[in-house]
């Protein structure tokens, strides 16, 4: 058996400048060791602290100054849920990755963690040997840490070809003319999101009570989690919200979340639009994927679809959002500064597809003004 490493802490000034600093928090020294071995294979990552409970993590967070905390849920002395607000109080910009099981209990606790400010939840294997040997888990862990962990955030760009005096632009984009996009009330609002998406959805959707069209959402999440996400949205936002199911009819004023491990698509059913679920291969490594949802709904409503792209890594949705722009549909995206990862919204913005690129706290009010009050 592999001998577990002791708890450790390294100076946050050690290592190469520009490395991503990670704190590991788990009551199992064996799991911390397995995680450390996975992460330290990448030269961009440095483990600055490895501790066994939330209390020790809160004590260490200022000294070690991590960019990312990989946090277990169930631990003695102080569990992960209790630790999240205390960690964020000590270091508000730290990104917290919760590791959870796929059970309903694990998913429920993970949704609570996201509501408290955790950045993302990752489903962990059920055994130590799988943590050390699961290529999918290891790749997901590395991809998340490298996507969110870099401390230098690019300067935000929210106007056409905007630059800041004395600053080198990272991402410059141009907006489509509002005159080129459908300007009446849309027939439906379609939202894509991934990393950081649950918090973004809570913030946006709390503004849409009274909306007179359906809202469809693809959030990259595994099964079990999406049903709980729908429950949390309904509870927090006061809008009826459902995990999509085969044959479910879209109703105005309701929100529909693509279920984990299924693409959510749509078909005409007499005078109604009904959900149909697909287990077709993943697109952009995702199922559910934004692409089939958007292609399907554009095929029904054309330019009357309002596309909204929120925070997320990768470029899922870029092709179907291009199709929507070509049809004359309106598209808005979350800006770089307020996105946890400006991958998905950045892709549509940099491609010149958006009529607006807005901070997260302005997207909900924009929807109220342009969909509800229009």
Catalytic residues: 194, 220, 316
Distance CA 281, CA 15 (A): 41
Partners of 229 in beta bridges: none
Those residues with Cβ within 8 angstroms of residue 203's Cβ, 6 or more apart along the chain or in another chain: 360, 361, 363, 364
Through-space distance between the first and last CA atoms of the chain, rounded to whole angstroms? 66
39-54 per-residue burial string, b: 16 or more CB within 10 A, e: under 16 = beeeeebbbbbbbbbb
- Least Cα distance to 204 among 174, 239, 171 occurs for 239
Partners of 241 in beta bridges: 255
DSSP 272-325: EEEEEEE-PPPBTTBSS-HHHHHHHHHHHHGGGEEEEE-SBSS-TTHHHHHHHH
Cα distances from 251 to residues 105, 254, 270, 275, 302, in angstroms, run 30, 6, 14, 11, 18
Phi, psi for 136 (deg, rounded to 5): -65, -45
Which helix (H) or strand (E) segment holds residue 344: the answer is helix 344-350
Are residues 100 and 121 in contact, defined by beta-carbon separation less than 8 angstroms?
yes
Are residues 135 and 128 in contact, defined by beta-carbon separation less than 8 angstroms?
no
Burial of 11: CB neighbours in 10 Å, binned 0-12, 13-18, 19+:
exposed
DSSP 47-116: EEEEESSHHHHHHHHHHH--SEEEEES--SSS-HHHHHHHHHHH-TT-EEEEEE-SSHHHHHHHHHHHHH
- Least Cα distance to 322 among 338, 301, 307, 337 occurs for 307
Q: Which residue has the tokens 């969909």?
A: 371
């Amino acid at each position: 058996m592999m001998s577990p490493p002791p708890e450790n802490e390294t100076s946050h000034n050690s290592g190469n400048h520009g490395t991503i600093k990670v704190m590991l928090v788990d009551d199992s020294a064996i799991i911390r060791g397995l995680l450390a071995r996975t992460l330290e294979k990448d030269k961009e990552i440095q483990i600055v602290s490895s501790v066994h409970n939330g209390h020790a993590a809160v004590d260490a967070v200022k000294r070690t100054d991590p960019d990312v905390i990989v946090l277990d849920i169930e631990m003695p002395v102080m569990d992960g849920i209790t630790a999240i607000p205390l960690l964020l109080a000590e270091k508000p910009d730290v990104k917290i990755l919760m590791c959870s099981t796929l059970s309903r209990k694990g998913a429920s606790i993970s949704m609570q963690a996201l509501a408290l400010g955790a950045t993302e939840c990752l489903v962990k294997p059920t055994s130590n040997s799988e943590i050390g040997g699961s290529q999918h888990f290891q790749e997901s862990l590395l991809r998340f840490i490298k996507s969110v962990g870099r401390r230098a955030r690019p300067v935000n760009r929210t106007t056409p070809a905007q630059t800041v005096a004395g600053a080198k632009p990272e991402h410059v984009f141009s907006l489509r003319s509002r005159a080129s996009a459908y300007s009446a009330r849309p027939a439906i609002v379609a939202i894509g999101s991934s990393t950081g998406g649950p918090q973004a959805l809570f913030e946006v959707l709390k503004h849409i009570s009274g909306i007179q069209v359906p809202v469809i959402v693809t959030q990259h999440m595994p099964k079990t989690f999406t049903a709980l996400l729908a429950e949390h949205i309904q509870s927090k936002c006061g809008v009826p919200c459902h995990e999509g199911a085969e044959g479910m009819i879209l109703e105005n004023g309701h929100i529909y979340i693509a279920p984990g491990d299924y693409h959510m698509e749509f078909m005409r059913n007499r005078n109604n639009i009904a959900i149909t679920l697909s287990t077709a291969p993943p697109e952009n490594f995702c199922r559910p994927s934004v692409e089939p949802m958007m292609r399907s709904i554009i095929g029904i409503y054309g330019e009357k679809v309002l596309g909204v792209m929120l925070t997320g890594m990768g470029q899922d949705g870029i092709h179907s959002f291009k199709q929507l722009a070509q049809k004359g549909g309106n598209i808005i995206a979350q800006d770089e500064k307020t996105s946890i990862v400006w991958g998905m919204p950045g892709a549509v913005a940099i491609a010149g597809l958006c009529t607006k690129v807005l901070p997260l706290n302005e997207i909900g009010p924009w929807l109220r003004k342009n969909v509800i009050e229009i």
